[in-house]
Amino acid sequence: MNNVPYEIFLIGDTGSISRNKPDQVLEMLKAHCDVNQESAIVFLGDNIYPRGLPAKDHLLRKEAEDTLNAHKNALKDYHGKVLFISGNHDWNKGRADGYEYVLRQQKYLDKLFGTQVMFPSNGCPGPSEINVNDNITIVLINTQWWLQSGYRPIGKECGCRVNSEEDFFIHLRKVLDKNKGKQIIVAGHAPVYSYAIHGGRYKFSHHLFPMTIYHRKAYVPLPLIGSLLPLYRKYFGAKEDIAHPRYRHLRKKLKEVFKEYPGLIYAAGHEHNLQHISKDHNHFIISGAGSKLKYVLKGGKNLRFGMKAKGFFKIRFESDGSVVSSAWILDPGHNKGKMVYEQPLN
């Protein structure tokens, strides 16, 4: 049983927040951060759009720095724990030189916040164990490591705790076993389940106007032939889609592990919407609506909640041991936004 309540804010895909003025979503997040309430904020990857943190002489460098600085400025008075994980955009959209990009971002963020905030460190796969108190553990994993082209660090010579892909799952089980009896949140950028585009869920207009998958205003009609793109991504997948072979392998293994730990919460970003999926006695939260929005189904077999709106999830661990999730979205005139969903998780 927890001695005091604890809150964990889950927010992802904040890489397009306002850089030169206070960002609406981060201001709403700040309004929830009570100095008398113990809490942590987990940024679920894609912290910089479009391509992470490039070299200092790159055209996009200042814009990327401004994005990270905006995160820090919004949280300069925050008293709790701040954690970042990386997503595909942070690794230069999965390009072969992405490792250099994520190392630069880690160094910049750690300097900006004055302490280590980006995990797993050194671009390693993880898992990284963060014990926020005696009753709650956050386990951070680097899902992009599995999907990345080019160099991927592994082994002690790279500062990584695991020596192989199989070793990762052995260590993940060890961490989860060690924390049995506690409340566990595992966080990674890529979802295990999704009722949105990366999960192969498309609407009719995507078949008629397939380029709107990438840009909401790209209404170029391609009847019949336009169905090839959504069908390809649903059954074969781009690198960032659940259907892609590398992603499918990671997902299969994570599902096998998570089933052994009923009550576990897995948090992800990647999809630009809000979702709560419940399956195999676990909860899967997608909170990738920090700065961008994309289509999501409103109903599905295991989908408890789905919404296309800017916001975040909050998980509250009560002093009596109960756990409650809530989804908050922007609402003009209310600095805390609007709660559009609330559900006990145990």
Q: What is the CATH number of the domain that holds 120?
A: 3.60.21.10
Can you give the pTM of this predicted structure?
0.91
Give the range of the structural domain holding residue 309, as residue numbers without chain letter. Answer: 6-192+263-344
Residue-wise pLDDT tens digits, 281-322: 999 999 999 999 998 988 889 999 999 999 999 999 999 999
Three-class SS state of 191: coil
172 and 213 within one domain: no
206 and 183 within one domain: no
209 and 116 within one domain: no
Distances (CA, A) of 151 to 100, 131, 145, 180, 199: 9, 30, 9, 34, 26
Mean pLDDT of the chain: 90
pLDDT at 224: 47
107 and 170 within one domain: yes
184 and 61 within one domain: yes
Give CA–CA dist 93/108, Å, rounded. Answer: 19
220 and 181 within one domain: no
Geometric angle at alpha carbon 295, from 292 and 296, rounded to 5°: 115
153 and 65 within one domain: yes
Asked whether the predicted pLDDT for residue 239 surpasses 70, the reply is yes
DSSP H or E stretch at residue 233: helix 228-235
Q: Is residue 252 part of a domain?
A: no
Give CA–CA dist 118/180, Å, rounded. Answer: 25
157 and 294 within one domain: yes
173 and 53 within one domain: yes
The structural domain count of the chain equals: 2
Q: What is the pLDDT averaged over residues 130-150?
A: 96
Find where tokens 């192989």 sit.
164
Q: Is residue 337 part of a domain?
A: yes
Asked whether the predicted pLDDT for residue 230 surpasses 80, the reply is no
71 and 51 within one domain: yes
pLDDT at 234: 58
Distances (CA, A) of 288 to 137, 191, 267, 271: 21, 10, 10, 5
188 and 147 within one domain: yes
